[in-house]
Structure 1
Amino acid sequence: MGDVHYIESGVGAPLVLLHAFPLDARMWNPVRTRLEDRTRMIAPDQRGLGESALDGSSAHPLAGGDRAAAPDVELAAADVLELMDRLELPRAVVGGCSMGGYVAMAMLRAAPERVAGLLLVDTKATADGPDQQANRRAVADRAESSGTGDWLAADMLPNLLGDTTRQQRPEVVEQVRGLIEEQPAAGVAWAQRAMAARPDSTGTLRGFGGPALVVVGAEDGITPPQEAAKMADLLPDGELVTLPEVGHLSALEDPDAFTAAIGPWLNRIG
């Protein structure tokens, strides 16, 4: 499918990494340079974000042939599965941060045989409650009506990044601000509605027998360490790593610590 943009580099066993909201595949670039000597890293822009199209037709049967369908993380998962088809990857280790984790869990529901290992980063298995759903839909409506340029980054940065990052890593704050400000408003709205509608994934994780690693920032206030511990407990072969002094975007806030956490796991399952 030509309208999903992705960044690929490295050699070795394939690792598909799915980005957080409201960013794109470039959030993984600091990790890429640290991992590409040991793995083939594929990072797609999820639909409507980065350089991936929001509309157009998808050949993948799970997408129902209509990329303009109602927002749904299952459709985003179908996009990634179709990309794996294009790249002739029968299986890959699949990782996702935040929204990317929701999409990874949707891939697990749709095609568990394609997931050689699962990496869940600063995400959660439970669905949103009514208040969270209402907030997401309000953000989606505002993005559609007035764009995102003058408020989305300002609203989200305090929650996305840990206290340590905001106080000591100004270059990371500006990098994330730039990524948020470049995202298309229509894609932001679609993603928020898709996340609001996502199902509970606790049963999905309980049923996955493959190797799984859960990574969380100690300062993550959106999907805190206790949520990560619950996911690790659900997974039959789950492990948990908590990274100090980082928040919800742990891979971007401290790529050295993140790579040190996932590298041995990748080597073990590779």
Structure 2
Amino acid sequence: MHYIESGAGTPLVLLHAFPVDARMWNPLRSRLEEQARVITPDQRGLGESSLDGTTARGMIEPAAAPLTVDRPSVDVAAADVLELLDQLELPRVVLGGCSMGGYVAMAVLRAAPQRVAGLLLVDTKAPADTDEQRTNRLNVASRAEQEGTGGWLAENMLPNLLGAATREKRPEVVGDLRALIEAQPADGVAWAQRAMAARPDSFEALRAFDGPAMVAVGAEDTITPPAAAREMADALPRGELVELAGSGHLPSLEAPDALADAVRPWLAGIGV
């Protein structure tokens, strides 16, 4: 599993959204690395992490390798994360995830809550998909396999991923995000969509987690809007809700200063 690591201090593992990779966290990383050891993996099949459990250098990950293309599941992705924590000899971390990364973070919480010292959920949601949402994901997966992802995937997703303020005033963010989407392998895109389509409801896991938790959401997010964030914050016994003005679904790209300002004091209060 490929990952980017920088900084020193509290171990903070951040899981990226769909359909991008760990680089989406770079603007936030630069604002947190004086306080935290920031670790951002590329999830299975995306970025530089291969779909069959090998790394970019061709090394097999023992625990994750048997769980391959025929097993699209956020639980498989969570097993990848836990294997990485073992490799890095990190018994407990602050775990964060945006969108799909949030689904995987909640899967880690179901599988090994003792490994999670604090939980940061960014523009994600706890319920399983509706039938319509599941069908849409499976259609995207099939199209990616049949046609690749060039052009159409970014065009279809950009208007929803970014808030109106970003689309109107920050063309450089639009261009960066387009490039990230275009860089993702079609088979990884398809696998991730099927994994997300099959994910269960996670509210029970949130209610059972008694550690510090922050739920951050872009005020302009139309995919997982503030109401969905509020439901998660209410379910978490120690949940704290932060709404970020001028941001859509990807505040680490759209509003990194505001997100960092919210995370720093919260992170400072967590002992690992």
CA contact (8 A) 2:74 2:196 kept: yes
Whether the 8 Å CA contact 2:98–2:124 is kept in 1: the answer is yes
Who is 2:56 aligned against? none
1:101 paired residue number: 102
Shift in Å at residue 67 of structure 1?
2.7
- Please state how far the C-alpha of 1:64 moved relative to its aligned partner: 8.0
In structure 2, the residue corresponding to 1:263 is in which secondary structure? helix
Matched, 1:59 2:66: no
Query: Is the Cα–Cα contact under 8 Å of residues 4 and 40 in structure 2 kept in the other structure?
Result: yes
In 2, are the aligned partners of 1:22 and 1:188 still within 8 Å (CA)?
yes
1:12 aligns with 2:9: yes
Q: Is the 8 A contact 2:97 2:121 kept in 1?
A: yes
Q: Deviations over 1:178-237 (max 9, x none)?
A: 000000000000000000000000111000001000000000000000000000000001
Taking the aligned partners of 2:253 and 2:218, their CA distance within structure 1 comes to 11
Give, in whole Å, the separation in 1 of the partners of 2:67 and 2:264: 38
- Does the 8 A contact of 1:71 with 1:190 survive in 2? yes
Residue 103 of structure 1 aligns with an amino acid whose one-letter code is: V
Tell me the distance in 1 between the aligned counterparts of 2:252 and 2:233.
Answer: 18
Asked if 1:189 is matched to 2:177, the reply is: no
Q: Distance in 2 between matches of 1:118 and 1:234?
A: 13
TM-score norm. by structure 1 comes to 0.96
Aligned partner of 2:148 in structure 1 is 147
1: distance between equivalents of 2:151 and 2:62? 37
For 1:178, the equivalent position in structure 2 comes to: 179
Aligned to 1:235: 236
For 1:259 and 1:17, how far apart are their aligned partners in 2? 13
Identity of aligned residues (%): 68
Residue in 2 that maps onto 1:50? 47
Residue 218 of structure 1 is matched in structure 2 by 219
In structure 2, what is the Cα distance between the partners aligned to 1:64 and 1:87?
18
1:39 correspondence with 2:39: no
Tell me the distance in 2 between the aligned counterparts of 1:58 and 1:35.
29
Distance 1:69 1:114 in 2: 27
Distance 2:7 2:165 in 1: 31
CA RMSD after TM alignment: 1.0
In the alignment, the residues of structure 1 paired with residue 128 and residue 84 of structure 2 have an alpha-carbon distance, to the nearest angstrom, of: 26
Decide whether the 8 Å contact of 1:5 with 1:51 is kept in 2: yes
Q: Does 1:267 align with 2:268?
A: yes
Count of aligned residue pairs for this structure pair: 265
Shift of 1:33: 0.7
The separation in 1 between residues aligned to 2:7 and 2:252, in whole angstroms, is: 18
Structure 1 counterpart SS, 2:37: strand
Structure 1 stretches of at least 4 aligned residues deviating more than 4 Å after TM superposition: none
Secondary structure (helix, strand or coil) at the match of 1:269 reads coil
Contact 1:58 1:66 in 2 (8 A): no
Q: CA deviation digits over 1:44-99, x for unaligned, max 9?
A: 00000000010146422xx5833334100000000010000000000000000000
Q: Is the 8 A contact 2:69 2:191 kept in 1?
A: no
Amino acid at match of 2:113: P
Contact 1:58–1:67 (CA under 8 A) maintained in structure 2: no
Any stretches of 5+ residues in structure 1 without a counterpart?
none
* Structure 2 residue corresponding to 1:22, chosen from 16, 19, 23: 19
Q: Give ranges in structure 2 of 5+ residues lacking alignment.
A: 54-59
Find the aligned partners of 2:106 and 2:38 in 1 and give their Cα distance.
19
Q: Distance in 1 between matches of 2:193 and 2:138?
A: 7
1:253 is matched with: 254
Question: Does the residue aligned with 1:100 lie in a helix, a strand or coil?
Answer: helix
